[in-house]
Amino acid sequence: MKLYVVRHGQTIFNTLNKVQGWADTPLTEKGENDGKLAGERLKNVKFDAAFSSDTSRAMHTAEYILAENNYQTPSLEIAPEWREYFFGSFEGGSNDVMWGAVAKAFGVAEETPDAIAAEIQDMTAIMDKIHAVDPQHIGEDATRFWQRIDGALKKLTASQKPDDHILLVTHGQLIGNLAQHYGHLLGAARPKNGAVAVFNLDDNGLQVEHFNDTETYFH
Q: pTM for this structure?
A: 0.96
- How far apart CA 169 and CA 51 sit, in angstroms, is 6
Residue 112 carries which DSSP code? S
Q: Is 91 a known active-site residue? A: no
Inter-residue contact 10 to 28 (CB < 8 Å):
yes
Q: What is the pLDDT of residues 42-82, one digit of tens each?
A: 999 999 999 999 999 999 999 999 999 999 999 999 999 99
8, 60, 131, 165: the catalytic one is: 8
Question: What residue numbers does the annotated binding site cover?
Answer: 7-14, 57
Integer CA distances (angstroms), 74 to 118, 134, 216, in order: 38, 40, 23
- How far apart CA 176 and CA 116 sit, in angstroms, is 13
32, 40, 81, 84: the catalytic one is: 84
Question: What residue numbers does the annotated binding site for substrate cover?
Answer: 7-14, 57
State the CATH class of domain 2-93+140-213: alpha beta
Residue 34's H or E segment, with its range, is: helix 29-41
Domain boundaries along the sequence of the chain: 2-93+140-213
Q: What is the pLDDT of residues 155-212, one digit of tens each?
A: 999 999 999 999 999 999 999 999 999 999 977 678 999 999 999 999 889 999 999 9
Q: Is 8 a known active-site residue? A: yes
